[in-house]
Amino acid sequence: MIKLTSLFSGSKGNCTLIQCQQTNVLLDLGGTCRSVLHNLQEMELSPTDVSAIVVTHEHSDHIGALCAWQKKWQTPVFAPKSIAKVVAERCLCNVLPIDGSFCVGELLVETYACSHDSACCFGYRFSCGGEAVASVTDTGCFGQELVDFLYPCRTIQLESNHDENMVLQGPYPAVLKKRILSATGHLSNEQATQVLQKLIGSNVKNVVLAHLSEQNNTAELAFNTAIKMYSRYNLVEGHHINVFVAQQNKRSVTIE
Ligand SMILES: [Zn+2]
Ligand SMILES: [Zn+2]
């Protein structure tokens, strides 16, 4: 059985735990080492139980705690090939370059190329024993390729970063607004919902909406945008489909 738990998610830091049998992978290590450790401890895991850390991209909300972590525990770190050197230099640790799919223990890890204003950003699909979960955040647009990538998964974590109107009416400078809304920024609630709509009829049963902006979104807005769409197809949340919202300050339930 493969499990996904969002330890925390948002502009201040991201960390997701993927588990299968004896393998525990941390997807990104943003935020603080302390918060990661605190969450692991509550889940009765020790840092030495972490088989690997897999990095999506080099922005600090995804690698901010990596340097401190690696000082204490030399966990194998994987990052996209083109940013492996940057991550290694910034986090003072060895980084294994990802160039195609790879394995960590029982998990097969496959990549999706995100459209983001970083040197490189990957979404990941983790498979084990005929089951799959995926996480795709930090991508400004989507096409059929993303839908195909998520299609076989039982559980997906998908970015639902902002409400477009909140961005436009909010206090951010114009240049930052433009960045967030661009094709190399972040997926809005509306865009995430369009992806979910295309996944109706797929294997997807559990959806975790993630990387919400504190300034430009609320958990209710992200959740309701998805739910409204599902209800148009007579799909009932909690019955046909389960929708969760990953939070910045609270760990999600473990989705099995
Ligand atoms: Zn980013
Ligand atoms: Zn991010």
159-190 pLDDT tens trace: 999 999 999 999 999 999 999 999 999 999 99
For residue 12, the ligand closest to its alpha carbon is 2
Burial (CB count within 10 angstroms: exposed 0-12, middle 13-18, buried 19+), residue 151: middle
The whole-number pLDDT of residue 183 equals: 96
Task: Quickly list H helices, 140-218.
Answer: 144-150, 164-169, 174-181, 189-198
For residue 15, the ligand closest to its alpha carbon is 2
Q: What pTM, to 2 d.p., does this model score?
A: 0.97
CA of 93 to the centre of ligand 2 (A): 21
CA of 138 to the centre of ligand 2 (A): 5
Neighbours of 254 (CB within 10 A): 12
DSSP lists the bridge partners of residue 71 as none
* Percent of the chain residues past pLDDT 90, beyond the cut: 100
Neighbours of 247 (CB within 10 A): 15
211 lies in a domain?
A: yes
Cα dihedral across residues 148, 149, 151, 156: positive or negative: negative
H or E segment to which residue 124 belongs: strand 122-128
123 lies in a domain?
A: yes
CA of 239 to the centre of ligand 1 (A): 33
250 lies in a domain?
A: no
The domain that contains 56 carries what CATH number?
Answer: 3.60.15.10
13 lies in a domain?
A: yes
For residue 179, the ligand closest to its alpha carbon is 1
CA of 115 to the centre of ligand 1 (A): 10
Reduced to 3 states (helix: H, G, I; strand: E, B; else coil), residue 255 is strand
Using one digit for the tens of pLDDT, what is the confidence trace for 100-137? 999 999 999 999 999 999 999 999 999 999 999 999 99
251 lies in a domain?
A: no
CA of 62 to the centre of ligand 2 (A): 6
The whole-number pLDDT of residue 88 equals: 97
Instruction: Give residue 236's pLDDT band: very low, low, confident or very high (50, 70, 90).
Output: very high
CA of 186 to the centre of ligand 1 (A): 8
Residue 170, C-beta contacts closer than 8 angstroms, at least 6 positions apart? 177, 215, 216
- Evaluate whether 141 touches 117 at the Cβ level (below 8 Å): no
For residue 161, the ligand closest to its alpha carbon is 2
Return residues with CB closer than 5 A to ligand 1 (ion).
59, 138
182 lies in a domain?
A: yes
CA of 233 to the centre of ligand 1 (A): 33
Give the residue among 107, 115, 114 at the shortest CA–CA distance from 133.
107
* Percent of the chain residues past pLDDT 70, beyond the cut: 100
Q: Parallel, antiparallel, or unpaired for β 52-54 and 77-80?
A: parallel
252 lies in a domain?
A: no
CA of 138 to the centre of ligand 1 (A): 5
Q: Parallel, antiparallel, or unpaired for β 102-104 and 107-113?
A: antiparallel
Full domain range(s) for residue 232:
2-245
Task: Report the pLDDT averaged over residues 78-90.
Answer: 97
Using one digit for the tens of pLDDT, what is the confidence trace for 135-155? 999 999 999 999 999 999 999
CA of 139 to the centre of ligand 2 (A): 9
- Average pLDDT score, the chain: 97
Number of domains in the chain: 1
For residue 59, the ligand closest to its alpha carbon is 1
Using one digit for the tens of pLDDT, what is the confidence trace for 241-256? 999 999 999 999 999 9
Using one digit for the tens of pLDDT, what is the confidence trace for 2-30? 999 999 999 999 999 999 999 999 999 99
CA of 185 to the centre of ligand 1 (A): 8
130 lies in a domain?
A: yes
CA of 135 to the centre of ligand 2 (A): 12
